[in-house]
């Protein structure tokens, strides 16, 4: 599970499943439940799905970047640096989640969402970015860097 | 049963090479070893004694639980107590005291006069606790009556008596032909009644339980006598200038005498490389290791590794350089022409793997033990030495930092230091005649070359072409799946993991791969 290409494939499948869950199923649910004053529900759902897709692709790229970095033959000689690199990618993931949420709020700035909906949006974007990166690297990092992700 | 008996300083130095070969996995399954030397304070001897102790400590913990065939410290080396037969019961013995020269005058005047004829007054008065000072005639007298009721001879003869079949006990002696102790001991113990046809060894007049071999080391080095000043310069000692004459006389003696050696190996070199400053004996006599000692140790291995039932008798073998350079291709490995290639490949593979192991362990493995286990990020370390126990806990019983485990690894570290120093000392630089290992890629002064500064050092220490793989590759090999037993102690597994990675590294980088052949059935365990 930690060696290429298996870790890449499993991560891709996992990202796809999450996307189906959050973009299609949860997106459909939001279309039925969200109350908008200005925008059309269809536009909101479409924008939401695009942003979820962007978050998913970027989260996937973060994980892939880590896999590539961790499998380089020279990485074993610079594990301290690898630790800093993982932390940087994790923070980038967190910033992506916040950034995508901000983008959604700006695009629908005339709408007012409930606290629960704000939390749900942030949770979904987090699931695709920093949470996805953390879980997938915790489980599928190349052997050389398997001890680096937090929680080992 | 295999015995190695090192005679004098050269015998002790050959023992050092033999130990390193055994540590690398190029040796018999079992070997008993002792040294004959009246100069117990001799620096060469002290070095060998210390090395044996470290070998035994390291082996006790690494091999006891290891899988069969694990090469590191594979040979079970045992030694009697004391390890050294120092010949004299008391210190400051003189030949005159030993033969009761003063009393002979009144008790047996003709014998007194004969002794006066055979020995000079200087020889009779010389104190012998620092060896025979290049005068084998003195040594021959005092070595002819070993005390069989005291160790090491008691153990030796007990083992011989236990043997049943002809040639069951293989005994190999090594010493120099040109010095004092060795030159006296090798012919003395070659006399039929001394070992081969001793009453406790012989089965009948023509058959013995002992298969007797020896290596006579011919002159191969020189030393600087400028250090011999003051009263020391006035005393009896041998100089390098005396070597050729002593050798010629000794060879003539060997040719004429009916000695009982089944196989005799003659090894020498005419390069006359300097091995350090002169010292007549004592702690100061500690010379740099030399490749001829390795060749002599290989002669011992050739004798001891011969398959049972294939022990020719009445043979002698000669080894010397053909060209100016001594490389892997020119090391004398075996008298059996069909086995040369397989043995050479095996020796190179084992020594290169051992050198890789020693370097990596000293540079990386042992220092890593100073880092708390929770701070080590290497996956192999976590898997084997700091594994998870439940969700939040760690199994600290596998930690090699525990005092008793660390003590074993300290013994391995100390042995590795000695191995690397020995291997590096064989090299004399790019212009030197010995082209085996490159000292400058292994040691920088007395320390190992920093692997972080010189990443490629580990992949370029052989004086042959290589793939020049670096230390990161070695670290990656530590992460490879291992076949090491889970029954191994943490220290055993730690050293074993490093050895496995070293072996793989050597095979990949230096292309030292197994060659099919009979060597595989004997030494390639």
Q: What is the 3-state secondary structure (H, E, C) of B60-87?
A: HHHCCCCCCCCCCCCCEEECCCCCEECC
In chain A, what residues touch B475 (CB-CB under 8 Å)?
76-77
Q: Does A144 touch chain B (CB under 8 A)?
A: yes
Q: Is the confidence at residue B91, as pLDDT, over 70?
A: no
Q: Is A51 within a domain?
A: yes
How many alpha carbons lie under 13 Å from residue B477 in its C-beta half-sphere? Answer: 23
Q: With bands split at pLDDT 50, 70 and 90, how would you rate the model's confidence at A24?
A: very high
- What part of B 355-394 touches A (C-beta under 8 Å)? 377-379, 382
Distance, CA of B434 to chain centre:
19
Say how far apart CA B57 and CA B73 lie, in whole Å. Answer: 10
Strands B447-448 and B443-444, sheet pairing:
antiparallel
Q: Is A152 within a domain?
A: no
Per the listing, tokens 């160790």 go with: B151
B497: nearest Cα among B306, B323, B301, B361: B361
| Size of the A and B interface in Cβ pairs below 8 Å | 34
In chain A, what residues touch B378 (CB-CB under 8 Å)?
76, 79, 147
Enclosing H/E stretch for B31: strand B30-36
Most confident region among B94-98, B271-275, B348-352 by mean pLDDT: B348-352
Instruction: Please state the rounded mean pLDDT for residues A44-59.
Output: 96
Instruction: Please state the rounded mean pLDDT for residues B292-296.
Output: 94
**In this predicted model, what pLDDT tens digit does every residue of B184-218 receive, in sequence order?**
888 889 999 999 999 999 999 889 999 999 999 98
Eight-state DSSP code of residue B295: H
The pLDDT assigned to B232 comes to 52
Q: Is the confidence at residue B437, as pLDDT, over 80?
A: yes
Say how far apart CA A102 and CA B470 lie, in whole Å. Answer: 47
Rounded to a whole number of angstroms, the distance from the CA of A145 to the nearest CA of chain B is 7
Asked if the peptide bond before residue B152 counts as cis, ω within 30 degrees of 0, the response is: yes
**Higher per-residue confidence, B205 vs A65:** A65
Q: Is A94 within a domain?
A: yes
The pLDDT assigned to B524 comes to 41
Say how far apart CA B23 and CA B9 lie, in whole Å. Answer: 21
Q: Is the confidence at residue B20, as pLDDT, over 90?
A: yes
Residues near B458 by Cβ (< 8 Å), separated by ≥ 6? B356, B359, B360, B451, B469, B470, B471, B474, B505
Say how far apart CA B363 and CA B341 lie, in whole Å. Answer: 33
Q: With bands split at pLDDT 50, 70 and 90, how would you rate the model's confidence at B362?
A: very high
- SS3 of B129, please? strand
Q: With bands split at pLDDT 50, 70 and 90, how would you rate the model's confidence at B525?
A: very low
Q: Is A151 within a domain?
A: no
Q: Is A26 within a domain?
A: yes
**In this predicted model, what pLDDT tens digit does every residue of B37-79 receive, in sequence order?**
887 767 777 788 889 998 998 888 777 666 677 888 999 999 9
Q: With bands split at pLDDT 50, 70 and 90, how would you rate the model's confidence at A4?
A: confident
Q: Does A79 touch chain B (CB under 8 A)?
A: yes
The pLDDT assigned to B268 comes to 86
Tokens of B503: 């072996």
Instruction: Please state the rounded mean pLDDT for residues A79-105.
Output: 96
Q: Is the confidence at residue B319, as pLDDT, over 70?
A: yes
Q: Is A1 within a domain?
A: no
Rounded to a whole number of angstroms, the distance from the CA of A88 to the nearest CA of chain B is 18
Rounded to a whole number of angstroms, the distance from the CA of B228 to the nearest CA of chain A is 51
Instruction: Please state the rounded mean pLDDT for residues B231-257.
Output: 68
Say how far apart CA B298 and CA A98 lie, in whole Å. Answer: 71
Tokens of B364: 């990386």
The pLDDT assigned to B109 comes to 84
| β-strand partners of B242 | none
Using an 8 Å Cβ cutoff, are B27 and B347 in contact?
no
CATH T-level fold of B2-89+134-320: Rossmann fold (3.40.50)
Task: Specify the number of domains making up chain A.
Answer: 1
Kindly list the distances between the CA atom of residue B422 and the CA atoms of B46, B257, B443, B508, in Å, as whole numbers in the listed order. 15, 36, 11, 24
Instruction: Please state the rounded mean pLDDT for residues B88-97.
Output: 71
Q: How many helices (H) and strands (E) does chain A have?
A: 6, 0
Q: Is the confidence at residue B230, as pLDDT, over 60?
A: no
Q: Does A147 touch chain B (CB under 8 A)?
A: yes
Strands B388-389 and B393-394, sheet pairing:
antiparallel
The domain containing residue A116 runs over which residues?
6-145
- Which chain A residue's Cα is nearest to B476? A76
* Candidates A77, A146, A147; nearest CB to B471: A77
Say how far apart CA B222 and CA B204 lie, in whole Å. Answer: 45
B301: nearest Cα among B317, B321, B320, B325: B317
Q: Start-end ranges of CATH 3.40.50 in chain B?
A: 2-89+134-320
* Candidates A77, A80, A146; nearest CB to B475: A77
Instruction: Please state the rounded mean pLDDT for residues B422-445.
Output: 90
Lowest average pLDDT, out of A42-56, B161-175, B285-299, B451-465, goes to B285-299
Top residue of B376, B471, B476, B501 to mutate, by most chain A CBs within 10 Å, is: B476
Using an 8 Å Cβ cutoff, are B180 and B10 in contact?
no
**Higher per-residue confidence, B339 vs B251:** B339
Lowest average pLDDT, out of B347-361, B427-441, B454-468, goes to B427-441
Rounded to a whole number of angstroms, the distance from the CA of B470 to the nearest CA of chain A is 9
Q: Is A24 within a domain?
A: yes
Instruction: Please state the rounded mean pLDDT for residues B160-182.
Output: 89
Q: CB neighbours (10 Å) of residue A24?
A: 12
Pinpoint the alpha helices (H) of B398-509. 403-425, 439-442, 471-478, 490-509
The pLDDT assigned to B236 comes to 45
Is the CB of B379 less than 8 angstroms away from the CB of A74? no
Say how far apart CA B214 and CA B6 lie, in whole Å. Answer: 10
B347: nearest Cα among B16, B17, B52: B17
- SS3 of B34, please? strand
- What part of B 433-452 touches A (C-beta under 8 Å)? 452
Per the listing, tokens 């990386």 go with: B364
How many alpha carbons lie under 13 Å from residue A43 in its C-beta half-sphere? Answer: 10
Q: With bands split at pLDDT 50, 70 and 90, how would you rate the model's confidence at B521?
A: very low
Residues near B485 by Cβ (< 8 Å), separated by ≥ 6? B65, B66, B67
Q: In residues, how long is chain B?
A: 525
Q: Is A11 within a domain?
A: yes
Extended beta strands in B289-441, E state: 315-319, 326-327, 388-389, 393-394, 434-435
Q: Does A152 touch chain B (CB under 8 A)?
A: yes
Q: Is the confidence at residue A86, as pLDDT, over 90?
A: yes
Enclosing H/E stretch for B501: helix B490-509
Kindly list the distances between the CA atom of residue A96 and the CA atoms of A49, A54, A100, in Å, as whole numbers in the listed order. 16, 10, 6
Is the CB of B379 less than 8 angstroms away from the CB of A79? no
The pLDDT assigned to B224 comes to 62
Say how far apart CA B25 and CA B21 lie, in whole Å. Answer: 6
Is the CB of A147 less than 8 angstroms away from the CB of B378? yes
Percent of chain B at pLDDT > 70 equals 85
Mean pLDDT taken over chain B:
84
Q: With bands split at pLDDT 50, 70 and 90, how would you rate the model's confidence at A129?
A: very high
Percent of chain A at pLDDT > 90 equals 86
A132: nearest Cα among A5, A6, A21, A3: A21
Residues near B42 by Cβ (< 8 Å), separated by ≥ 6? B9, B12, B130, B131, B281, B282, B283, B285, B286
Say how far apart CA A75 and CA A80 lie, in whole Å. Answer: 10
* Candidates A77, A83, A143; nearest CB to B379: A143
Write the ipTM.
0.84
**In this predicted model, what pLDDT tens digit does every residue of A96-108 receive, in sequence order?**
999 999 999 999 9
The pLDDT assigned to B182 comes to 82
């Amino acid at each position: 599970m930690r060696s290429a290409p298996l870790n890449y494939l499993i991560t891709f499948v996992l990202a796809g499943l999450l996307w189906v869950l959050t973009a299609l199923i949860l997106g459909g649910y939001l279309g039925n439940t969200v109350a908008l004053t200005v925008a059309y529900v269809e536009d909101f759902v479409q924008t939401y799905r695009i942003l979820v897709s962007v978050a998913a692709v970027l989260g996937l790229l973060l994980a892939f970047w880590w896999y590539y970095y961790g499998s380089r033959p020279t990485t074993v000689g610079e594990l301290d640096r690898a630790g800093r690199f993982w932390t940087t990618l994790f923070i980038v993931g967190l910033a992506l989640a916040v950034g995508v949420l901000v983008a959604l709020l700006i695009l629908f700035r005339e709408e007012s969402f409930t606290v629960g909906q704000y939390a749900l949006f942030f949770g979904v974007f987090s699931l695709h970015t920093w949470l996805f990166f953390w879980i997938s690297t915790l489980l599928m990092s190349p052997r050389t860097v398997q001890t680096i992700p937090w929680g080992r | 049963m295999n015995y190695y008996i090192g005679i004098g300083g050269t015998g002790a130095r050959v023992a050092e090479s033999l130990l390193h070969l055994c540590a690398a996995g190029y040796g018999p399954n079992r070997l008993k070893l002792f040294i004959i030397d009246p100069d117990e304070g001799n620096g060469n001897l002290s070095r060998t004694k210390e090395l044996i102790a470290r070998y035994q400590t390291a082996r006790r913990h690494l091999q006891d639980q290891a899988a069969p065939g694990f090469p590191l410290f594979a040979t079970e080396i045992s030694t009697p107590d004391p390890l050294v037969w120092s010949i004299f019961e008391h210190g400051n013995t003189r030949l005159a005291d030993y033969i009761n020269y003063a009393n002979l005058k009144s008790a047996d005047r003709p014998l007194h006069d004969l002794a006066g004829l055979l020995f000079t007054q200087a020889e009779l008065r010389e104190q012998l606790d620092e060896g025979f000072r290049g005068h084998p005639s003195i040594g021959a007298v005092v070595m002819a009556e070993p005390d069989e009721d005291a160790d090491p001879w008691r153990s030796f003869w007990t083992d011989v008596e236990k043997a049943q079949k002809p040639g069951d006990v293989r005994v190999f002696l090594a010493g120099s032909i040109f010095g004092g102790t060795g030159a006296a001991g090798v012919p003395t113990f070659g006399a039929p009644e001394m070992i081969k046809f001793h009453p406790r060894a012989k089965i009948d007049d023509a058959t013995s339980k002992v298969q007797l071999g020896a290596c006579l080391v011919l002159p191969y080095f020189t030393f600087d006598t400028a250090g011999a000043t003051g009263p020391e310069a006035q005393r009896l000692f041998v100089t390098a200038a005396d070597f050729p004459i002593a050798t010629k006389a000794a060879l003539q003696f060997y040719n004429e005498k009916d000695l009982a050696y089944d196989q005799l190996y003659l090894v020498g070199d005419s390069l006359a490389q300097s091995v350090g400053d002169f010292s007549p004996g004592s702690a100061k006599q500690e010379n740099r290791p030399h490749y001829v000692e390795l060749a002599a140790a290989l002669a011992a291995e050739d004798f001891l590794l011969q398959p049972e039932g294939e022990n020719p008798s009445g043979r002698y073998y000669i080894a010397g350089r053909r060209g100016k350079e001594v490389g892997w291709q020119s090391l004398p490995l075996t008298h059996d022409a069909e086995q040369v290639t397989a043995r050479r490949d095996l020796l190179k593979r084992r020594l290169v793997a051992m050198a890789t192991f020693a370097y990596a362990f000293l540079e990386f493995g042992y220092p890593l033990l100073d880092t708390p286990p929770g701070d080590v990020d290497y996956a192999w370390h976590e898997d084997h030495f700091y594994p998870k126990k439940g969700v939040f806990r760690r199994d600290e019983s596998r930690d090699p930092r525990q005092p008793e485990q660390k003590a074993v690894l300290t013994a391995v570290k100390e042995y590795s230091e000695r191995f690397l120093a020995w291997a590096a000392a064989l090299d004399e630089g790019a212009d030197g005649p010995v082209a085996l290992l490159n000292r400058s890629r292994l040691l920088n002064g007395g320390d190992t070359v920093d692997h972080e500064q010189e990443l490629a050092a580990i992949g370029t220490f052989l004086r042959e072409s290589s793939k020049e793989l670096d230390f990161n590759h070695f670290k990656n090999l530590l992460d490879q799946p291992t076949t090491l037993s889970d029954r191994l102690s943490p220290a055993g597994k730690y050293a074993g993991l490093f050895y496995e990675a070293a072996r793989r590294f050597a095979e990949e980088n230096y292309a030292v791969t197994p060659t099919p052949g009979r060597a595989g059935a004997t030494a390639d365990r």
